[in-house]
Amino acid sequence: MWAYPSLPVALTGLCLLFGGRFLSQSDHGRAWLLVITALVLVVVGVAIGLVIWRFDKAGGESWWLAFIFYVIMALPLTLSRRFALLMILGLWFVRVGGVSLAALNHYGGGQPYCKLQGLGFAVVYMTMGAIAAVLGVFSALRYLERQGA
């Protein structure tokens, strides 16, 4: 479940590669690409959410949190300077929050997917996530400024 919220980014990238290869660059082709991308994100998100819900070994109580983070990462955000700090904090938590909290708490002896131990792993992981969130938000804001939006 820790990687599930990162999936929309990869799916969107794959859809863009598909669209660049097989769809025309016209407005009609871009509209189809938007529909295909949204459909892929919804179908995969619901399917994996249902699988996690059904086979969750923790009693089926935590699948909804991963699903909510998946939805947040799949939704496009309206960017403005007014909400930049809020977006950075939100994206930072969605990306690295679960893994970092696990490293500090119940997996303190090492992550099941990474044998780095507790606090050191959590601090490095949170730092990298914060840098990625800041760069992502400010890059998007700069792009929108150049486009005149």
Could you tell me the residue ranges of all domains in the chain? 1-76, 77-149
| Averaged pLDDT for residues 134-139 | 79
Written as six digits, the tokens of 88 are 């950075």
pLDDT for position 117 = 58
One-letter amino acid of 12: T
Q: Give the model confidence (pLDDT) of 44-103 as tens digits.
A: 988 888 887 787 766 656 677 777 777 777 776 555 667 777 777 777 777 777 777 777
Question: Out of 36-45, 48-57, 102-111, 115-124, which region has the weakest mean confidence (pLDDT)?
Answer: 102-111
Determine the Cα–Cα distance for residues 82 and 97; give it in Å rounded to an integer: 23
Instruction: Transcribe 36-70 into DSSP letters.
Output: HHHHHHHHHHHHHHHHHHHH-TT-SSSHHHHHHHH
Closest CA to 6 of 63, 65, 69, 53: 69
pLDDT for position 79 = 57
pLDDT for position 40 = 92
